[in-house]
Amino acid sequence: MQRLRLKADGRIVQLIEGREAPLVPESDIALPDEMSATPPVRDLRLRAKLTQAEFAARLSVPLETIRNWEQGKRSPRGPARALLAVIAHAPDTVFAALARRS
């Protein structure tokens, strides 16, 4: 019987003689295009000279969301990905527009 474990980062590992082994060798795993094209959230935040809490507040998302994105536990999707892509090119304009809606 095969024993598997789901890790916090989403990987599934196989338990062999009490040790964890990748279910699929990591070299065989290719990131989908959508994940590799995601702007690096931490870099965007640092370029804007904002803390995680300030960045979360400006984007109107929970602080935990920013932490998960930066730690690679989750990836931005849909509108969040689009917003981050625009922030990468014109952060001042985006933050000014977002501030006006409050």
Q: Where are the domains of the chain?
A: 1-30, 31-100
The pTM of the full predicted model, rounded to 2 decimals, is: 0.61
CA pair distance 23, 34, nearest whole angstrom: 23
Identify the CATH class of 31-100: mainly alpha
The residues facing 6 across adjacent strands are: 12
Measured CA to CA, the distance from residue 55 to residue 41 in angstroms comes to 10
Instruction: Quick: pLDDT tens for 46-102.
Output: 999 999 999 999 999 999 999 999 998 998 888 888 889 889 888 888 899 888 875
Residue type for position 26: E
CA distances from 73 to 8, 9, 43, 95, 101 (A): 8, 5, 16, 25, 29
